[in-house]
Amino acid sequence: MKKVAIIGAGVAGMTAAKYLLAKGYEVDIYESRNHIGGRCYSFVDGESGDMMDNGQHLFSGAYEEFFSLLRWLGTEHLLSNTGNINVDFVDSASHFAYKLDCTYPNNILGLLFGLWRMEGIGYMDKLRANSMLLHLLRGINGEDYSVSELFRRLGVSDIAIKRLWKPLCVSIMNAPIEYASAKLFLATLKRIISSGEMSLQNAIVPLQSLFDGFEVKIANAGSRLHLKSAVTSIDVIDNRCCSIVVNGENIAVDRVISTLPARNLTKLHPIFAEYKEWSSSPILSVYIWCDGALFDKQSICSIGTNIEWVFNCSKMQSGMSSKHLYSITMSAANDAMPLSDVELMRVIVAELRQITRITDVVIGRYKILREQNATPLLTYMNEIRRPSVRSSLSNFYFAGDWTATNLPATIESAAVSGRLVVETMDYLASFPQAKVST
Ligand SMILES: Cc1cc2nc3c(=O)[nH]c(=O)nc-3n(C[C@H](O)[C@H](O)[C@H](O)COP(=O)(O)OP(=O)(O)OC[C@H]3O[C@@H](n4cnc5c(N)ncnc54)[C@H](O)[C@@H]3O)c2cc1C
């Protein structure tokens, strides 16, 4: 039987396993932590006993590959699907509240109408936005420059950038618009509109529960998941990876798929040194337990603050014991990351007052989660340098959200990379004599 070792049991690793099993491969998955899911994980809050996520994750309705993984695991029904995007914004400086409500009609036209109805940006900007979306449908991809350069070329006004495009870009790309790749941003919009899926979904259970069943699927197929099994290095002979070192033990391998982020990959062998330069972008999440309601909606996207989103967890997740639990997200949070807990909470309390105009609600408890390496920083320069599936070793392949998927570093990128790597590897396996040129 054809054997493959997968390094890492995040979304990329699980998706690769799914496709490998379907093609009749025997799989061994090595995961350094004691749980699967990678950067999508949950933990138990000691005080409330609630399962909490490492940060709020949102899924675009166009995440076809990720949804296919969940279907395979039998957990797709654990996502909320509330129809087309309906986002509440607050411009905190002026306390101007507005909506992007694309719920009617529940198809691509909903997005165009939603933009048209949106308050807070002028008609010229709405025309530009709608014509850009229609142009995208006709196949314009854009060269690679920054998102802010894209807006400059399209003549988008400062107010439209501030109130619509910047929050959209930072949420999707986890990068400042001055660096984020325009090509990837356009590719994402194009994917959304061409799929006709305008929804924004979330897990109604702890993220971790979405992956329940993976271990059983692997075991039933006669394959193996090895938790707490860090791959520390690989042995290379004649341009082939002949073995991997797991917890100090050498294990012979036929083919290897690494789903590791760049910084972990470079530790495996000096041949991966070129990926050392890859930098990451942080996401800062803060859970706050309040003694009263801050707002009744599912979420608010805040403009002009460090706080980017406030999510109403008690509303979004079922089975939460805490009544007024909110989670705050700060993407590309380079400014906020160095703040001490006390400084950060001072900023958060002040900004929450600006956003909600509520002053009498007390935050009883908080939990700060700093994910320094939340996603790779996909600038327009890095986009060109993303590695494809094949490495310089003939039997060693790359996957993971940072590899060349033509998507921002998201869960969907991770899932797509898992499919691409198996398709390529399986194709090459049908030519046993094929040599990889470096
Ligand atoms: C706070 C936060 C919020 C996010 N929000 C969103 C969102 O709303 N929407 C979205 O689409 N994306 C979001 N993301 C990004 C998304 O989580 C990632 O893009 C995706 O999970 C990456 O999956 P992956 O499989 O490529 O990598 P990973 O999940 O990093 O998987 C790699 C795995 O390899 C393991 N590993 C590392 N080193 C070794 C080793 N030496 N040996 C064995 N195993 C090893 C790791 O433990 C990990 O399990 C968010 C990320 C964070 C951190």
Q: State pLDDT tens for residues 190-237.
A: 888 888 888 999 999 999 999 999 999 999 999 999 999 999 999 999
318 confidence band (pLDDT: 50, 70, 90) = confident
Closest residue by Cα to atom 53, ligand 1, is 374
State if residue 386 touches ligand 1 by the CB under 6 angstroms criterion: no
State if residue 376 touches ligand 1 by the CB under 6 angstroms criterion: no
Instruction: Say if residue 123 is in the same domain as residue 241.
Output: no
Closest residue by Cα to atom 5, ligand 1, is 57
SS (H, E, C) the chain: CCEEEEECCCHHHHHHHHHHHHCCCEEEEECCCCCCCCCCCEEECCCCCCEEECCCCCEECCCHHHHHHHHHHCCHHHECCCCECEEEEEECCCCEEEEEECCCCCCHHHHHHHHHHCCCCCHHHHHHHHHHHHHHHCCCCCCCCEHHHHHHHHCCCHHHHHHHHHHHHHHHHCCCCCCEEHHHHHHHHHHHHHHCCCEEECECCCHHHHHCCHHHHHHHCCCEEECCCCEEEEEEECCEEEEEEECCEEEECCEEEECCCHHHHCCCCHHHHHHHHCCEEEEEEEEEEECCCCCCCCEEEEECCCCCEEEEHHHHCCCCCCCCEEEEEEECCCCCCCCCHHHHHHHHHHHHHHHHCCCCCCEEEEEEEEEEEEEECCEHHHHHHCCCCECCCCCEEECCCCCCCCCCCCHHHHHHHHHHHHHHHHHHHCCCCCCCCC
State if residue 282 touches ligand 1 by the CB under 6 angstroms criterion: no
Instruction: Say if residue 218 is in the same domain as residue 131.
Output: no
Q: Which atom of ligand 1 is nearest to the CA of 259?
A: 32
Instruction: Say if residue 271 is in the same domain as residue 218.
Output: yes
For the chain, percent of residues with pLDDT exceeding 90: 77
Asked whether residue 22 is assigned to any structural domain, the reply reads yes
Instruction: Say if residue 183 is in the same domain as residue 237.
Output: no
Closest residue by Cα to atom 1, ligand 1, is 55
State if residue 409 touches ligand 1 by the CB under 6 angstroms criterion: yes
- Judged against a pLDDT cut of 50, whether residue 438 lies above it is answered with no
Q: State pLDDT tens for residues 54-80.
A: 999 999 999 999 999 999 999 999 999
| 333 CA distance to ligand 1 middle (Å) | 17
Closest residue by Cα to atom 36, ligand 1, is 8
Pocket test for ligand 1, best of 40, 184, 192, 278 (most atoms within 8 A of CB): 40
Asked whether residue 72 is assigned to any structural domain, the reply reads no
Instruction: Say if residue 420 is in the same domain as residue 365.
Output: no
State if residue 11 touches ligand 1 by the CB under 6 angstroms criterion: yes
User: Ranked by mean pLDDT, which of 22-26, 48-52, 311-315 comes out on top?
Assistant: 22-26
Instruction: Say if residue 270 is in the same domain as residue 406.
Output: yes
- The per-residue pLDDT of the chain, averaged, comes to 93
Asked whether residue 135 is assigned to any structural domain, the reply reads yes
User: CATH code at 218?
Assistant: 3.50.50.60
- Judged against a pLDDT cut of 90, whether residue 22 lies above it is answered with yes
Instruction: Say if residue 270 is in the same domain as residue 393.
Output: yes
State if residue 12 touches ligand 1 by the CB under 6 angstroms criterion: yes
Q: What is the pTM of this model?
A: 0.95
State if residue 7 touches ligand 1 by the CB under 6 angstroms criterion: yes
Instruction: Say if residue 410 is in the same domain as residue 322.
Output: no
Number of domains, the chain? 3
State if residue 400 touches ligand 1 by the CB under 6 angstroms criterion: yes
User: CATH code at 135?
Assistant: 1.10.405
Write down the pLDDT at residue 433: 57
Domain final position from 376, 401, 418: 376
Q: State pLDDT tens for residues 329-343.
A: 999 999 999 999 999
Asked whether residue 437 is assigned to any structural domain, the reply reads no
State if residue 410 touches ligand 1 by the CB under 6 angstroms criterion: yes
Q: State pLDDT tens for residues 288-308.
A: 999 999 999 999 999 999 999
| 88 CA distance to ligand 1 middle (Å) | 28
Asked whether residue 200 is assigned to any structural domain, the reply reads no
Instruction: Say if residue 242 is in the same domain as residue 386.
Output: yes
State if residue 61 touches ligand 1 by the CB under 6 angstroms criterion: no
Pocket test for ligand 1, best of 39, 272, 370 (most atoms within 8 A of CB): 39
Asked whether residue 259 is assigned to any structural domain, the reply reads yes
Domain final position from 171, 195, 219: 195
State if residue 65 touches ligand 1 by the CB under 6 angstroms criterion: no
| 10 CA distance to ligand 1 middle (Å) | 6
Instruction: Say if residue 410 is in the same domain as residue 331.
Output: no
Domain final position from 353, 376, 399: 376
State if residue 31 touches ligand 1 by the CB under 6 angstroms criterion: yes
Q: Which atom of ligand 1 is nearest to the CA of 417?
A: 26
Asked whether residue 264 is assigned to any structural domain, the reply reads yes
Closest CA to 299 of 290, 312, 288: 312
Asked whether residue 75 is assigned to any structural domain, the reply reads no
| 253 CA distance to ligand 1 middle (Å) | 24
Instruction: Say if residue 345 is in the same domain as residue 291.
Output: yes
Q: Which residue has the tokens 């350094």?
A: 32
Q: Which atom of ligand 1 is nearest to the CA of 371?
A: 53
Q: State pLDDT tens for residues 278-288.
A: 999 999 999 99
Stretch 11-40: mean pLDDT? 98
Secondary structure (DSSP) of 1-35: --EEEEE--SHHHHHHHHHHHHTT-EEEEE-SSSS
Write down the pLDDT at residue 91: 94
User: CATH code at 324?
Assistant: 3.90.660.20
Give the range of the structural domain holding residue 169, as residue numbers without chain letter. 109-195
Q: State pLDDT tens for residues 119-170.
A: 989 999 988 888 777 777 666 665 678 999 988 888 899 999 999 999 999 9
Instruction: Say if residue 168 is in the same domain as residue 317.
Output: no
